[in-house]
Each structure stands twice: as C-alpha cells, then as structure tokens.
Amino acid sequence: MDKDYKIRRAFENKSWQEIKVNDSWHIFKIMAEFVDGFEKLAKIGPCVSIFGSARTKQDHKYYLLSQKIAGLLSENGYGVISGGGPGIMEAANKGAFEAGGKSVGLNIELPFELFENKYIDRDKLLEFKYFFVRKVMFMKYAQGFIILPGGFGTLDELFEAITLIQTGKIARFPIVLVGTEYWSGLFDWVRASMLTAANIKEEDLDLFVMVDTAEDAADHIFKFYEKYVIKPNF
C-alpha cells in the first residue's frame, strides 16, 4: 500500500465536521501570532526592513553590504527589522547591534533558517509559524524596505511591498534594491514583458530604486523622509 493511498484513506475516514473544527482552531493560533507581534512591535519606532538570502556566507560582499547598511541606518536613528535567520538577515541584525540600534528579528523555522541569529535584541525576537502573519509584521512596522540578493522568499517580500504600495493598501515608502548586477535582469524583463503588455504602468517602475553601495541605500531612505513625515503604514 503506497503512502499516498494511506494519506487519502485517512482523509476519507475523517468527517468533514472534524476537519472544520480543526480549521476553526487554527484561527486562535493565527490570532495569537498577530497579538504577540502587535504588542511587541507597536512601540519600536521608525524601522527599515532588510531582506535577503539566508544562504549568504559571512565573507560574501552582500553580507558585508547588509551589515554596513544596517549600521548606517542605526547611526541615524532607524531600527532594523530582519527575518531573524542567518545570511543577509544575520548581517542586518549584526550591523544594527554593533551600532547600538534597535535590532528586530521575525523568525520562522525553515530548512535554511533553523535558528535565530545572536544579534537580535531579546525583547524584539518573535517566532512565527505562519508566513502571512510574519509578512504583515514586516509591512506594518517598517518605514522602508532594503532588498539584497535572495531567493523566492525575498522575491515574495519584494513584490508584496511593491503591490501594496501600487494598490494604495499601504502608504508610499522607499524600496531599495541593492546589487544592480543581480536585479537588473529581472527588471529588464519586467519592463520588456509586463510594461509592454500594459500589465503595469510606467510610473510603477518608480516605486523602487537600484543601488550598489551601502551609502546610496541608506541615503535613499534618509532623503525620502526629508520630504515625507514618518508615520505608521496602517
């Protein structure tokens, strides 16, 4: 008897009522994650979320860039939010920690993120089971996004931010892509395919910028808020 058949039979033997009850209990687990996140993050002050790969090694140029960007932000009064894991996220928390800034980690257990990094402020570490709850926290409590090279998760977070701003679901805030050699091919395709097909507008491409240095990444955040008042996104 194959494994799929056993799973299918187990499902068939379970009543729809039992399935509905179990689904209902998930609501309370989800609510608990939202409540914990809101309570811990509501008073952290202006922060910037930094995204990127969990697989980036500590001697890689993008790890060092993430660390430097976080340090510059912290020196200028911004807290730093990361996914709480290794790689680019660790670098962001490390840069904030070493500069004496607020270092927030929104951790989730994944194959490449089996632990939180040691540079997160202990009172600003949150553990999540649900991706969508975690993403709400990233969006709600950040006044800007800085995105370094990463995989599907990083793309998910990037396009979530762009979509929410494009559709007016959150306030306009700066999005900075670091590493033109990494990102330019993707956005060449966006321009050639999505824009040409009229699936986006030309002005949608103004929702983000691409830079290559830590100074340019941080300066874009600083200059943006010379014109706009920092306020919660929701």
| pLDDT, tens only, 39-78 | 989 888 899 999 999 999 999 999 999 999 999 999 999 9
Separation between Cα atoms, residue 164 and residue 150, nearest integer Å = 20
Residues of the chain below pLDDT 70: 1-22, 110-114, 228-234
- Please report the pLDDT score of residue 166 as a whole number: 95
| Strand pairing category for 175-178 and 79-82 | unpaired
Q: What are phi and psi of 61, to 5 degrees?
A: -60, -35
- Please report the pLDDT score of residue 234 as a whole number: 38
Distances (CA, A) of 136 to 33, 85, 157, 158: 11, 18, 10, 13
Overall pTM surpassing 0.95 (yes/no): no
Taking a C-beta distance cutoff of 8 angstroms, is the pair 95, 211 a contact?
Answer: no
Report the SS3 class of residue 230: coil
Report the SS3 class of residue 118: coil
Number of H helices and number of E strands within the chain? Answer: 8, 7
- Please report the pLDDT score of residue 227 as a whole number: 74
Sign of the torsion formed by the C-alpha atoms of 26, 133, 164 and 147: negative
Taking a C-beta distance cutoff of 8 angstroms, is the pair 117, 86 a contact?
Answer: yes
Each residue of 44-81: b (16+ CB within 10 Å) or e?
bebbbbbbbbbebeeebebbebbbbbbbbbbeeebbbb
- Please report the pLDDT score of residue 116 as a whole number: 83
- Please report the pLDDT score of residue 232 as a whole number: 45
Distances (CA, A) of 195 to 18, 79, 207: 47, 35, 14
User: DSSP letters of 120-158?
Assistant: S-GGGEEEES-HHHHHHHHHHT-S-EEE-S--HHHHHHH
Residue 33: both structure tokens together: 């994650």
